[in-house]
């Protein structure tokens, strides 16, 4: 018999406790503790009926919804390992992700209602067995992808103890919402900030978690204004810039702060946010591999952050390293990512006492609207398309691709093929077709933005 991949009791002990009539979630309607427990129990019955057992594996591919939350908690209650797949990925990317996960079962949307700018969907979920699926080979409860689902993305796994430890770090952050307060969540619950800092932490503390009806600037502020309870917004820097662009925002005395993570914040945004709303724009630094690492939730240290409780950090050769008891990666992995008990973040950083300043990425991974994109993955996907001879992808104010085409190929066909291959947030903003890509004297493709721009002009 399979060994359980997760201790099922932690879900009830930490996430589903509390008075039955306490409102826990607010989507198209308020969901109290009793209703959430019932939804989880029904999802658990469906997973067991489908054949999922302790130590089994299930992939979850649903938009933000009550169904997503119920099936996630239900799978953990069964004792299964859960792999998360972003619902916005193409079928091509999903197939690659499922192959890497080896999931035995897939929970997908049979139907989904909701505008694309809505913060949640009304979902009818289906559970299906997947041919060739494998039971869990480790005791990890959660499996995620660092960026996308194919190519150079990393498969990252965390145990239930890892998640409990991260929730404990959140417990030591007094600025984070508690019972009697609200969280308006804009971050994706497939990714670590929205999943742990938003969903799991709100369930753990008893804060009311709100998914806005509209993910527009006005819609976000309307979600804050719906209650007099103290409210925190959690999102990515893009959302903060969106809110600061509103000319005359409505007064929001219940707004405590906004907290953002996922990419570096532009210098003008924190002071503009405080001026506009009278509250701080807090920042966080974290990684899928370990969760929250450092914070500046009251906005007094920006652009620096303070390491969270228990984080053992060092800077080696300008790169931030984090102590971890074991590698968080599954499958084939870059040996430079985890070395002798240290997670090598590939982030440039400076560490001065309790002040950590993250300076940016050292590798090809970038953040687009808070979603991680690996430029190597995008480049490989474009280069593999019919009609493309060669391609270089870089990030220069946005994802850009320089490519040369075989005779008879057109950029319109390339764009059409990309819609079937890459999720919208991964697609280049610009496709520049050149007769041939510039190369160095040794024959290597030139990747310098200035050289590529000069080739475009010529």
Distance CA 29, CA 19 (A): 18
> Could you tell me which of 136, 146, 147, 125 has the C-alpha nearest to residue 103?
136
Q: Is the pLDDT of residue 149 over 70?
A: no
| Range with the poorest average pLDDT among 83-87, 314-318, 367-371 | 367-371
What's the mean pLDDT in 320-343?
91
What's the mean pLDDT in 247-266?
92
- Percent of the chain having pLDDT more than 70? 96
- Give the per-residue pLDDT at 251: 93
Question: In sequence order, which residues have a C-beta less than 8 Å from that of residue 314 and are 6 or more positions away?
Answer: 320, 321, 323, 342, 351
What φ, ψ does residue 444 adopt, rounded to 5°?
-80, 145
pLDDT in tens, 49-79: 999 999 999 999 999 999 999 999 999 999 9
Q: Is the pLDDT of residue 1 over 50?
A: no
What φ, ψ does residue 181 adopt, rounded to 5°?
-125, 170
Q: Is 194 within 8 Å of 234 (Cβ atoms)?
A: yes
Question: In sequence order, which residues have a C-beta less than 8 Å from that of residue 18 and are 6 or more positions away?
Answer: 24, 33, 179, 206
Rounded to the nearest integer, the mean pLDDT of the chain is 91
Structure confidence at residue 440 as a pLDDT band (50, 70, 90): low
Token pair belonging to 90: 């193409």
DSSP bridge pairs for 282: 259
Structure confidence at residue 7 as a pLDDT band (50, 70, 90): confident
Token pair belonging to 89: 């990925």
Identify the DSSP state of 305.
Answer: B
Q: What is the 3-state secondary structure (H, E, C) of 172-217?
A: CCCCCCCCCCEEEECCCCCCHHHHHHHHHHHHHHCCEEECCCCCCH
Q: How many CB atoms neighbour CB 117 within 10 A?
A: 11
Q: How many CB atoms neighbour CB 171 within 10 A?
A: 14
What's the mean pLDDT in 153-178?
95
Q: Is the pLDDT of residue 142 over 70?
A: yes
Structure confidence at residue 441 as a pLDDT band (50, 70, 90): very low
- Give the per-residue pLDDT at 5: 58
The reported pTM is: 0.85
Distance CA 207, CA 193 (A): 16
What's the mean pLDDT in 275-281?
97
- Give the per-residue pLDDT at 442: 40
What φ, ψ does residue 72 adopt, rounded to 5°?
-60, -50
> Could you tell me which of 309, 317, 303, 318 has the C-alpha nearest to residue 291?
309
| Range with the poorest average pLDDT among 60-74, 264-278, 289-303, 364-378 | 364-378
- Give the per-residue pLDDT at 199: 98
Token pair belonging to 148: 């996308």
Identify the DSSP state of 270.
Answer: H
| Range with the poorest average pLDDT among 43-47, 151-155, 266-270, 317-321 | 151-155
- Give the per-residue pLDDT at 317: 92
What's the mean pLDDT in 160-179?
96
- Give the per-residue pLDDT at 3: 59
What's the mean pLDDT in 223-251?
94
- Percent of the chain having pLDDT more than 90? 75
Structure confidence at residue 2 as a pLDDT band (50, 70, 90): low
DSSP bridge pairs for 14: none
Q: Is the pLDDT of residue 150 over 80?
A: no
- Give the per-residue pLDDT at 167: 98
pLDDT in tens, 230-240: 999 999 988 99
Q: Is the pLDDT of residue 129 over 80?
A: yes
Q: Is 135 within 8 Å of 83 (Cβ atoms)?
A: no
| Range with the poorest average pLDDT among 211-215, 262-266, 389-393, 422-426 | 262-266
Structure confidence at residue 4 as a pLDDT band (50, 70, 90): low
| Domains defined for the chain, CATH in brackets | 1-158 (3.40.50.980), 175-363 (3.40.50.12780), 373-457 (3.30.300.30)
Q: How many CB atoms neighbour CB 407 within 10 A?
A: 6
């Amino acid at each position: 018999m399979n060994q359980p991949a997760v201790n099922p009791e932690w879900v009830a002990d930490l996430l589903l406790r509390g008075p039955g009539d306490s409102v826990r979630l607010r989507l198209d309607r308020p969901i109290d503790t009793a209703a959430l427990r019932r939804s989880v129990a029904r999802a658990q019955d469906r997973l067991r009926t489908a054949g999922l057992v302790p130590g089994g594996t299930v992939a979850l591919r649903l938009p933000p919804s009550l169904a997503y939350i119920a099936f996630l908690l239900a799978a953990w209650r069964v004792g299964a390992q859960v792999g998360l797949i972003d619902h916005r990925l193409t079928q091509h990317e999903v197939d690659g992700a499922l192959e890497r996960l080896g999931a035995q079962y897939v929970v997908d949307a049979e139907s989904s209602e909701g505008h694309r700018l809505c913060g949640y969907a009304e979902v009818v979920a289906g559970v299906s067995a997947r041919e060739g699926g494998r039971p869990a080979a480790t005791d990890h409860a959660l499996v995620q992808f660092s960026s996308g689902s194919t190519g150079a993305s990393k498969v990252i796994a965390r145990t239930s103890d890892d998640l409990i430890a991260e929730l404990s770090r959140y417990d030591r952050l007094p600025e984070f919402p508690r019972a009697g307060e609200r969280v308006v969540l804009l971050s994706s619950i497939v990714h670590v900030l929205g999943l742990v800092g938003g969903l799991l932490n709100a369930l753990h503390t008893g804060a009311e978690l709100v998914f806005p009806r509209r993910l527009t600037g006005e819609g976000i502020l309307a979600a804050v204004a719906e209650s007099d309870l103290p409210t925190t917004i959690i999102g990515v820097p893009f959302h903060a810039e969106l809110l600061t662009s509103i000319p005359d925002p409505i007064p929001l005395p219940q707004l405590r702060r906004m907290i953002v993570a996922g990419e570096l914040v532009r210098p003008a945004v924190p002071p503009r946010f405080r001026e506009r709303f009278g509250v701080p724009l807090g920042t966080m630094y974290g990684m899928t591999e370990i969760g929250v690492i450092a914070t500046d939730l009251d906005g007094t240290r920006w652009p620096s952050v303070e390491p969270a409780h228990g984080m053992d950090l060092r800077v080696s050769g300008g790169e931030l390293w984090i102590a971890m008891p074991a590698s968080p990666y599954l499958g084939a992995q870059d040996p430079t990512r985890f070395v002798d008990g240290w997670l090598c973040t590939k982030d440039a950083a400076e560490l001065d006492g309790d002040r950590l300043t993250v300076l940016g990425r050292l590798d090809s991974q970038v953040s687009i609207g808070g979603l991680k994109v690996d430029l190597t993955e995008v480049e490989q996907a474009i280069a593999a398309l019919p009609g493309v001879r060669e391609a270089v992808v870089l990030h220069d104010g946005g994802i850009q691709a320089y490519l040369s085409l075989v005779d008879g190929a057109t950029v319109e066909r390339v764009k059409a093929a990309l819609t079937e291959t890459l999720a919208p947030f991964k697609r280049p903003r610009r496709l520049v077709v050149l007769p041939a890509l510039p190369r160095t004297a040794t024959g290597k493709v030139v990747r310098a933005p200035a050289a590529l721009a000069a080739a475009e002009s010529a």
